[in-house]
Chain A
Amino acid sequence: MAASAVDSEITKSDKYSILLPTYNERENLPIIIWLIIKYLDGSGIDFEVIIIDDGSPDGTLDIAKQLQDIYGSKKIVLRPREKKLGLGTAYIHGIKHATGNFIIIMDADLSHHPKFIPQFIELQKENDYDIVTGTRYINGGGVYGWDFKRKLISRGANFLTQMLLRPGVSDLTGSFRLYKKDVLQKLVESCVSKGYVFQMEMIIRARQLNYSIGEVPITFVDRVYGESKLGGTEIVQFVKALLYLFATT
């Protein structure tokens, strides 16, 4: 589209805003920040981490402030909210304060490893993708800490989703992704789901809107600290979202 000289100008000014919504993550937050700094600092990637804490009673925000003192307020940005308000609004809140032209979304519970971020960025640059998503389901990806039942539910749900929605993306419920900022803005506005199925709706809407999507295999290490959740309510939420998307997209 543009001349290569212009392209390199754009590349030079690329900035990545990493959104970290947190709720009771005082154990995990310092580690995830440390890892992000380890893999991105000195790599020539311009970035900031925006911590969106929803009034965690365990003092996550206090830890975040200490981390800001250590790493500087250019790298660590705090945008707390009064109370738990949900993922979608956390993203809107984060986008509003983000100074980067790319947004990276990941979980703060250490299940997503920051070592994959440079791979996301590289793949995005190669193909000018609108979205790059991490996937546990293709070669090189995987999961640690899941028993047979959990794997069966995950694989079964994925098979059903692939069959009914044919999304062209192998991991729909994963939440480790890189977006162009305006693309994320548009997607968040067009999504209605709450909770983790929000991720699935985002990627389905992205396909519907003809955005280009790349995939990077990631290893997913299930919560080291704290509890992982997959109960009856999550399954019901998933089925509802699947049927909703099946009927409307």
Chain B
Amino acid sequence: MVREKDTMTKLLEWISVASAFFAIWYSLIGGYVKHPLIEANMSLILISPICFVIIFGLYALTVVLYRVFTFNNCESAFLELQRQIKEANKDLVAKGLKW
């Protein structure tokens, strides 16, 4: 029998993970959690979401560009098809196809 795997939509998954991160970040900058280490790195913690977005953006750009430049061009598949089109044309005409 077929049954649905996920009850949560992808949108809900993203929202729940994002809110978990936001809750942690907010509790750090809001002073709800107190620790000397946190206070010493406050400015870093403040801008960390922006850093994350920038780093992820760079990662995405690198991956996409790498995949564009390594996209297989299949020259031989094209040449094979060209050859076969000629062969097919000849054979089909011989079989009586008019087109």
Contacts and interface: CB of A to CB of B under 8 A. Distances in A.
Contact of A142 (B6, B74, B81, B84): B74
B9 A34 contact: no
Contacts of B96: 66, 70
Interface in B1-41: 2-6, 9-11, 14
B10 A219 contact: no
Interface residues of B, number: 35
A37 B44 CA distance: 66
B93 to A, nearest CB: 10
Contact of A34 (B6, B92, B98): B92
Q: Which of A34, A207, A209, A248 has the most CB of B within 10 A?
A: A34
Nearest to A70: B95
The dominant DSSP class at the A interface is helix
Contact of B60 (A34, A159, A221): A159
A248 B9 contact: yes
Contact of A151 (B71, B74, B85, B95): B71
A235 interface: no
B43 interface: no
Contacts of B89: 31
Contacts, number: 104
B74 A155 contact: no
A220 B77 CA distance: 8
Contact of A224 (B9, B72, B85): B85
A124 B73 CA distance: 27
Contact of B64 (A143, A146, A159): A159
A208 interface: yes
B88 A143 contact: no
B71 A143 contact: yes
A84 interface: no
Interface of B: 2-6, 9-11, 14, 60, 63-65, 67-68, 71-75, 77-78, 81-82, 84-85, 88-89, 91-92, 95-99
